Chains A and B, each alone.
Chain A
Amino acid sequence: DAGVTQSPTHLIKTRGQQVTLRCSPKSGHDTVSWYQQALGQGPQFIFQYYEEEERQRGNFPDRFSGHQFPNYSSELNVNALLLGDSALYLCASTRQGSYNEQFFGPGTRLTVL
């Protein structure tokens, strides 16, 4: 059973560019959440997608947007990249319902130069 997968593993961009990160949830999961983990800090919640809609959003600007596809996979898009966007981006999946903890992928390391 494949767990949560993310691509790419690493990415280098320059300021002002746009980036798209991808996530495939664990088999049987229908909900995907995205987190940003800056170096030396705990992950921060960006948003969550369920039934192809954004259900919850953390304190992130509109430059951060996402999408969920009918097969439950998801994309995170970041426009007008800033140096401060450099971080590990983690995707987590779960199945709607109580007690279903979130399973995390290995992350995408984004470096903005």
Chain B
Amino acid sequence: AQSVTQLGSHVSVSEGALVLLRCNYSSSVPPYLFWYVQYPNQGLQLLLKYTTGATLVKGINGFEAEFKKSETSFHLTKPSAHMSDAAEYFCAVSYNAGNMLTFGGGTRLMVKP
């Protein structure tokens, strides 16, 4: 069975500071990993995905994530936070990119001016 744990339901950073959102997963087979962002009263938008190949994945809006199999982690980072990054972020895992997604509980990112 798959599961996803996001450490920290709320993360607060100052504008311009490093953003680090943590995600650990458990999967009995090699996973496909995703990060989605959700702005208030909206659906989910894909930030980036890992399916195969290079373990450092770059996404939209300056975000990137690194797949570390030995640590079963897929942490999301961004070097410099912008006010517009304030949103809810979800890590998800799947056996196949088009298959059932299992989501973590989400991390609300707050950016202070």
A positions within 8 Å CB-CB of B: 4, 31, 33, 35, 40-45, 48, 56, 58, 90, 92, 94-107
Contacts and interface: CB of A to CB of B under 8 A. Distances in A.
A56 B100 contact: yes
Contacts of A31: 98
A101 B106 contact: no
Contacts of A105: 43
A41 B105 CA distance: 5
Contacts of A42: 4, 90, 92, 103-106
B90 A98 contact: no
What's the interface size class on B, roughly? Answer: 20 to 34
Given A4-B43, A100-B98, 7 more contacts: A31-B98, A42-B92, A42-B105, A90-B43, A101-B97, A102-B101, A104-B36
Contacts of B103: 42-44
Interface string B44-71: 1110010100000000000000000000
B102 interface: yes
22 contacts: A35-B101, A41-B106, A42-B90, A42-B92, A43-B103, A45-B101, A48-B100, A56-B100, A58-B100, A90-B43, A96-B98, A97-B98, A98-B51, A98-B97, A99-B51, A102-B46, A102-B97, A103-B46, A104-B44, A105-B43, A106-B42, A107-B43
A90 B98 contact: no
B98 A95 contact: yes
Contacts of A44: 103
Nearest to B36: A104
Interface string B77-113: 0000000000000101000111111111110000000
A58 B102 CA distance: 10
B25 interface: no
Contacts of B92: 42
